[in-house]
Amino acid sequence: MIPVIMAGGSGTRLWPLSRSLFPKQLLALHDNLTMLQATIKRCEPLSASNPVIICNENHRFIVAEQLREIGQSGKIILEPVGRNTAPAIAIAAIEALKHADEGVDPVLLVLAADHVIQNTKAYTEAVQSALPLAEAEKLVTFGIVPTEAHTGYGYIHRGRSIETGFAVDGFVEKPDVTTAQEYVNSGSYYWNSGMFMFRASVYLQELKQYRPDIFAACEAACATTRHDLDFMRIDDEAFAACPDDSVDYAVMEKTNRAVVVPMDAGWSDVGSWSALWDIADKDTQGNVKRGDVLLESTRNSYVYSDNKLIAAIGVEDLVIVDTPDAVMVAHKSQVQDVKKVVGRLNDSGRCEATLHRKVYRPWGNYDSIDVGERFQVKRIVVKPGAKLSVQMHHHRAEHWIVVSGTAKVTINDVEKLLTENQSVYIPLGAVHALENPGKIPLELIEVQSGSYLGEDDIVRFEDKYGRS
């Protein structure tokens, strides 16, 4: 069994924590592990192979680092562009067959990286019960036993019993509340979880039958693959030509091999702040508190503080989320409209839609502490053994002050070592590089000055991480 974890998406409804360059699947929203890490760890009791992670270009180094943090290895396939779940699964299936032992047709367990499962034992049992069906060349989808008449999920209608599951009688779009209640009362409908299990070849056969255009494009994209550090790249042009479609529409709603296996494991897709409030531990007043939070006469609210005290007095049913560069306040009944705010931020070109103040890079991270018209101050952390690209800037000069650790600095081919409290100036136009040759993290303060301070004012001459 090979876990295939879909780790794309931007999670705009959980802004300002989730942003397009650091979305919800890469955040620790429910416990100490990020949602991606928790998804991977849930596969350990299944005795599965190393996972295949499918993500986009912008998240690749963060995904690799999060695997490293939990001591996991796996194949990371980069999507040049987003084309929905049907093509992404096809890429994973083609690659699984390509690298399988002769005569082996691996079973793929397709998972989303941004789901919460509270009952791991029930989850494991449901997956194990579905395995014989997948081995018998069925296409298994996992149906969540509904706990309420939820109108935000699609539903699966079960038919006749087939071993540990049921034939799929149909998929239903998100219903109105009356219809949803009828579904729940009937006992024959499940929430559509977006989790699947099937043999690689069976999925490709069905895809080729019902969506030959997607199959052909994915086959062409995998005809020429190349490895780049920890990542596998497919043919950009061929994949960009692939139609956009979900696995539900492309295959599951058309095939006669679909079966549904019930799962009652405390599942949530955490699609909004109210959904996160639903599954979190609450105090006696129904409040969820994360970080430095002080509440007085406050009920049924979700309050998250990243780095400062939040005091809420006499409020009810609110979501309050503080990050270093944004504060969001919403009524719980209107949290779906957060995506409208993100749309307005994107329309006006504001960076708060895409980036946090703290930005992660393959070599470490930087935090933009202060910004003015002609200056910017950053706190930079470089991991041991890591090196920033050899680069120059057309519009800014930089001043580096080492706070802790050792810095190896190269300026126009002249190398020098700097330690705590030492500094160096990099003139505008100088070719320079920064490296941490030590065993502990290097921390420094960077002061930029110039007429333009954007991140796109970087001309890279050499980069160990393959960035252009």
Q: What is the CATH number of the domain that holds 452?
A: 2.60.120.10
Look at residue 349 and tell me if it is in a domain: no
CATH number of the domain that 16 lies in? 3.90.550.10
pLDDT at position 47 is 84
Query: 178 and 32 in one domain?
Result: yes
Look at residue 404 and tell me if it is in a domain: yes
Query: 310 and 237 in one domain?
Result: no
Query: 278 and 256 in one domain?
Result: no
Look at residue 351 and tell me if it is in a domain: no
Look at residue 468 and tell me if it is in a domain: no
Query: 152 and 117 in one domain?
Result: yes
pLDDT at position 103 is 87
Look at residue 348 and tell me if it is in a domain: no
Query: 444 and 388 in one domain?
Result: yes
DSSP per-residue letters across 263-307? E-S-EE---SHHHHHHHS---TTS-EEESSEEEES-BS-EEEESS
| Full domain range(s) for residue 337 | 273-341
* Overall domain count for the chain: 3
For residues 267 and 5, what is the distance between their CA atoms, to the nearest angstrom?
Answer: 16
For residues 148 and 161, what is the distance between their CA atoms, to the nearest angstrom?
Answer: 24
Look at residue 346 and tell me if it is in a domain: no
Query: 318 and 277 in one domain?
Result: yes
Query: 157 and 129 in one domain?
Result: yes
Query: 410 and 287 in one domain?
Result: no
Query: 381 and 289 in one domain?
Result: no
Q: What's at 447, amino acid-wise?
A: V
Query: 160 and 123 in one domain?
Result: yes
Spatial CB neighbours of 230, under 8 Å, sequence gap ≥ 6? 60, 64, 76
Domain boundary among 228, 244, 268: 268
pLDDT at position 31 is 86
Give the position of tokens 């941004």.
114
Query: 365 and 330 in one domain?
Result: no
Q: What is the pTM of this model?
A: 0.91
Look at residue 347 and tell me if it is in a domain: no
pLDDT at position 102 is 87
Neighbouring C-alpha atoms within 13 Å toward the C-beta of 351: 9
- Asked if 107 contacts 263 with a C-beta cutoff of 8 angstroms, the reply is no
Query: 309 and 252 in one domain?
Result: no
Listed in order, strand segments (DSSP E) in 324-441 are 326-331, 358-361, 364-371, 375-382, 390-392, 396-404, 407-411, 414-418, 423-426, 432-435
**Phi–psi pair at 90, nearest 5 degrees:** -60, -40
Q: What string of pLDDT tens digits covers the 468 residues of the chain?
A: 999 999 988 788 999 999 999 999 999 998 899 999 999 999 999 988 999 999 998 899 999 999 999 999 899 999 999 999 999 999 999 999 999 888 899 999 999 999 999 999 999 999 999 999 999 999 999 999 999 999 989 999 999 999 999 999 999 999 999 999 999 999 999 999 999 999 999 999 999 999 999 999 999 999 999 998 889 999 999 999 999 999 999 999 999 999 999 999 999 999 899 999 999 999 999 999 999 999 999 999 999 999 899 999 999 999 999 999 999 999 999 999 999 999 999 999 998 999 999 999 999 999 999 999 999 999 999 999 999 999 999 999 999 999 999 999 999 999 999 999 999 999 999 999 999 999 999 999 999 999 999 888 999 999 998 887
- In the structure encoding, which two tokens stand for residue 15, read together? 């802004």
Domain boundary among 253, 268, 283: 268
Domain boundary among 341, 370, 399: 341
Which of helix, strand or coil describes residue 444?
strand
